[in-house]
Amino acid sequence: MSFANAWPTLRAVAISVALALQLASAIPVRPLRAGGMSNPEGVRLVSWLQRMFSAVGVHRSQAEWTGSLIRASESVVALRNAAFAPFAPWFHYTQTGQQWPLFINPNRECFRLLVEARKPPRRRRERDWVLLYRAADVDRGRLSSMLRYRRLRGIYNASAKRGPHADYEGFASWLAGHLLAHHSKYASVRVSMERLAIGTPGSEPKSLGVEHVVVRQRSAIR
């Protein structure tokens, strides 16, 4: 058999392997956790399983089902990772994959970025922080187009549960440097996150206070 004759078969084999690999890549990278299974969606899944199997005579408690699901997911994830190991360099150097957690959990608590600046404190009034930017509200520092850009938001947008990303401090330093370079009258910049609680339709989001406050002085900026 010549190569030209064998090529369609070889190609079909290669595509099949690639598709299998991509499907395996879609398996979640983390197993289920007991904490996650106590969420409403976890409880719902377990109750579905319980009802479905009890209809065919398999009776198990919620805790038993939860334990089984966690153990099964641990095995599947371990198998996925083992199957993936030989192909890891490919996925590393191309940064490709099939994990698509797009807006999976819109949280009723979220953050709003605040950027403030302060002049050198000569007089009492100047010791107050001046609000330069509050997401979707105030934009005195002309930062909106930059800060709303998706890549930058990906760096600073903190998770309501897990807090800010690893580069949040670096972002605050960079933003302070950027602002102080463009506004010579300011001596320091404060970057923070206002926690908001989103209520029922018709109600204003409620502020729950300011967190993750980072202050950068002009003297400390490179």
Partner 1 sequence: MTAWTRWVAFWNRREQADALAMIRISVALVVLWDFGTVARLGLVRALWAPIEAGGIGPSTRAAPISVVYEWIGASAGSAWLLFGICCLCALSLCIGFFTRVSAFALCLGWAQFAQLSPDADRGIDTLLRNALVVLCCSSAGATASLDARLRHGRWFTDIRVPAWPRYVLVLQLVLLYFWAGLVKQSPPWTAIDGYSALYITLNQPHYATFDLSPQQLAAIYPLLQLATFMTVCFERLAPAVPVLLWLRATADRGGRLRELSNRLHLLEVWVMLGIVFHLGLAAGLELGMFPWGCLALYPALCAPETLRRWLKAAQNRFAPAEPTRAVA
| Least distance in angstroms from the C-beta of 118 to partner 1 | 22
Which is closer to partner 1, CB of 40 or CB of 209?
40
Which is closer to partner 1, CB of 45 or CB of 215?
45
Which is closer to partner 1, CB of 117 or CB of 135?
135
| Least distance in angstroms from the C-beta of 74 to partner 1 | 18
3-state DSSP percent of the chain in helix, strand and coil, to 5? 50, 20, 35
| Least distance in angstroms from the C-beta of 77 to partner 1 | 15
Cα–Cα–Cα angle for 126, 132, 135, rounded to 5 degrees: 145
Q: How remote is the C-alpha of 44 from its chain's centroid?
A: 24
Cα–Cα–Cα angle for 117, 120, 124, rounded to 5 degrees: 95
Q: Which residues would be at the binding site for partner 1 (CB under 8 A)?
A: 8-9, 11-12, 15-16, 18-19, 22-23, 26, 28, 39-41, 44-45, 93-108, 110-113, 134-137, 145-146, 148-155, 157, 165-167, 170-171, 173-174, 177-178, 196, 198, 201-205, 222
Sequence-ordered list of residues with C-beta below 8 angstroms from that of 23, at least 6 positions apart, any chain:
98
Q: Which two tokens stand for residue 8?
A: 């369609």
Which is closer to partner 1, CB of 60 or CB of 134?
134
Which residue's entry shows tokens 């009890």? 54
Q: Which two tokens stand for residue 144?
A: 């909106």
Give the Cβ contact number of residue 184 at 10 Å.
8
Distances (CA, A) of 150 to 27, 124, 154, 169: 26, 38, 6, 18
| Least distance in angstroms from the C-beta of 151 to partner 1 | 4
| Least distance in angstroms from the C-beta of 164 to partner 1 | 10
* DSSP string covering 70-93: HHHHHHHHHHHHHHHGGGHHHHHH
Which is closer to partner 1, CB of 57 or CB of 209?
209
| Least distance in angstroms from the C-beta of 71 to partner 1 | 20
Which is closer to partner 1, CB of 28 or CB of 121?
28
